[in-house]
């Protein structure tokens, strides 16, 4: 297990990162990248949308442009405090504290599930993806954005010691093992020299 795939260490990490997250984040994961990832989803007015690992609400800000029924979930109370400051008076958004591997929602509770910048901290990504499939109704979509595996072998070993990095082949394996269909990937990058993100969208079978 990588350093930050331990939940207690990840929570401690985000306790301090939450104070500067919105200032640091645009250098790695900006609005243009977020909006490109959002374009991979078919979100309709009134769709029930869940943002897993919502953090300070950066992904949530994009999701509320497409639906007025958005739920954000995060395990870090410090990150959620920042999100509440942004959306506390917005009745389109409701926040919950919880774990990606044990979602506190009923089966088929959502039409769309989005998760950005969270999978790299999950101890068992396939278990979390199975939970996503359970919580999204048949025919619905799940989109996950995570860090693309570095191409430099030395940096890859260092990166993997800190948190999960993966490529399209590994994303295919995880989503297929979790029971998804129609898996599609897109590489997102702020600039040619900045870290790459991988966005994977898949559909819940059954419709």
Q: For residue range 156-165, list pLDDT tens digits in order.
A: 443 444 567 8
Percent of the chain at pLDDT exceeding 90: 61
pLDDT, tens digit, 9 for 90 and up, residues 115-158 = 998 898 888 999 999 999 999 999 999 999 998 876 655 344 43
Cβ–Cβ < 8 Å for 180, 129: yes
- Domains defined along the chain, listed by start: 3-203 (3.40.50.150)
State how far the Cα of 126 lies from the Cα of 190, in Å rounded to an integer: 28
Q: Which residues contact 14 (CB under 8 A, 6 or more apart)?
A: 21, 55, 76, 78, 79
Higher pLDDT, 8 or 180: 180
What are phi and psi for residue 41, nearest 5 degrees? -105, 150
Is the model's pLDDT at 4 over the cut of 70?
no
Strands 196-203 and 181-189: antiparallel
Percent of the chain at pLDDT exceeding 70: 79
The tokens for 1 are 């297990």
What are phi and psi for residue 144, nearest 5 degrees? -125, 130
State how far the Cα of 159 lies from the Cα of 150, in Å rounded to an integer: 8
pLDDT, tens digit, 9 for 90 and up, residues 35-51 = 999 999 999 989 999 99
Is the model's pLDDT at 23 over the cut of 60?
no
């Amino acid at each position: 297990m990588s350093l930050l795939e331990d939940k207690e260490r990840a929570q401690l990490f985000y306790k301090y990162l939450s104070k500067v997250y919105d200032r640091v984040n645009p250098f790695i994961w900006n609005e243009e990248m977020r909006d490109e990832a959002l374009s991979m989803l078919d979100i309709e007015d009134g769709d029930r949308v869940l943002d897993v690992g919502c953090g300070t609400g950066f992904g949530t800000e994009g999701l509320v442009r497409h639906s007025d029924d958005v739920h954000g979930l995060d395990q870090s109370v410090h990150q959620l405090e920042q999100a509440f400051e942004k959306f506390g008076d917005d009745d389109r958004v409701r926040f919950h504290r919880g774990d990606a591997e044990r979602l506190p929602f009923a089966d088929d509770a959502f039409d769309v599930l989005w998760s950005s910048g969270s999978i790299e901290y999950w101890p068992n990504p396939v278990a979390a993806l199975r939970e996503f499939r359970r919580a999204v109704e048949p025919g619905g979509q799940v989109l996950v954005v995570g860090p693309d595996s570095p191409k430099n072998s030395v940096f890859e070993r260092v990166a993997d010691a800190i948190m999960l990095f993966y490529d399209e082949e590994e994303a295919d394996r995880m989503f297929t093992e979790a029971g998804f269909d129609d898996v599609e990937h897109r590489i997102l990058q702020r600039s040619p020299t900045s870290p790459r993100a991988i966005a994977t969208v898949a559909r819940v079978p059954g419709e």
